[in-house]
Amino acid sequence: MRNVRFAVDVTEGRVQGLPLEGRSALVTGSSRGIGRAIAVKLGRAGANVAVNYVTREREAQQVVDQLASLGRQSFAMQADVGRHDQLGALFDRVASEWGRLDIYVNNAIDVASFGPVMRLRAESWRHTIDSHVTTFLLGAQRAARLMQGGDGAIVAISSLGSRTYVRDYAPIGVGKAAIEALTRYLAMELGPAGIRVNTVSAGPIETDSLRQFKTFDEMKDASIRFLPARRMGQPDDVADVVAFLCSHDARWICGQTLIVDGGFSLLGGH
């Protein structure tokens, strides 16, 4: 058996030849939760990462500092990506900093409505749907223009509510379903340019956002009692799959929605 040798930068303590080394990434909504885990995971895989936030400046700077400790280039920018002018400014900043983009992760959404469908109001419904699908469309368009060299990756984050009933979740579930549909169209039309587009559909993940739902305790209890791993999902469980989809190892995965739920969708009536 041949000896396998790794080139190690002793000063920085990094192993060279990481799967995303030298690539640039933008992760929206990356100051906390799943977005933060994705940003850090991409950095550990070698990517330089633009961190986006709306209100949590301190947390966003903590992510930047963590990425810097890994030897990565990073910056944080405030932008409400549901506002199209601010979304455009975010991509302008990426272009100014790096001149290109290799990875775009569409994670941030702005939810304006929850509740039973008969109580939903048109204005808040439109806002929630628009923050999902229109933001993904415009972000993917801008990202594609910055992707050069025929090896780009766009990944959106969805959830099981896109295909199953979750109480009080209709605006989000419908928005996520639209993201999954748009993924297929983007994949077909951007594929010839060497850009792969996929979506990760996450099961219940223990985050501050999910704790706002009335059904959080039920989901956590079901996860602990019935999932094969006997635990609830964590942000890193999603981040690891996103990083894989952004790598060359996932080169033959295109236009797909990968369900990452630890088996939660198998529980049926539990």
Beta strands 14-15 and 8-9 are antiparallel
pLDDT in the model for residue 263 = 87
169 is annotated as an active-site residue: yes
Could you tell me if 117 and 128 are in contact, meaning their C-beta atoms sit under 8 angstroms apart?
A: no
> Tens digit of pLDDT for each residue in 111-131?
777 788 899 999 999 999 999
Q: How much of the chain is helix, strand and coil, in % rounded to 5? A: 45, 15, 35
- Counting as low any pLDDT under 70, the low residues of the chain are 1-16, 207-217, 219-220, 268-270
**Averaged confidence pLDDT in the chain:** 88
Residue extents of the structural domains in the chain: 21-260
- Helix and strand tally (H, E) in the chain? 8, 9
176 is annotated as an active-site residue: yes
* DSSP SS3 for 265: helix
* DSSP SS3 for 175: helix
Model confidence, pTM: 0.88
| Angle, alpha carbons 110-116-121 (nearest 5°) | 60
pLDDT in the model for residue 24 = 97
Helix ranges (H only) for the chain are 33-44, 57-69, 84-98, 122-129, 135-146, 170-190, 216-226, 235-245
Which token pair is 111?
A: 């939810």
pLDDT in the model for residue 12 = 40
pLDDT in the model for residue 144 = 97
For helices 170-190 and 122-129, angle between their N-to-C axes, nearest 10 degrees: 30
List the catalytic residue out of 41, 169, 185, 220: 169
Q: Which CATH number fits domain 21-260: 2.60.40.420, 1.20.1260.10, 3.30.830.10, 3.40.50.720?
A: 3.40.50.720
pLDDT in the model for residue 174 = 94
List the catalytic residue out of 41, 165, 176, 220: 176
pLDDT in the model for residue 195 = 98
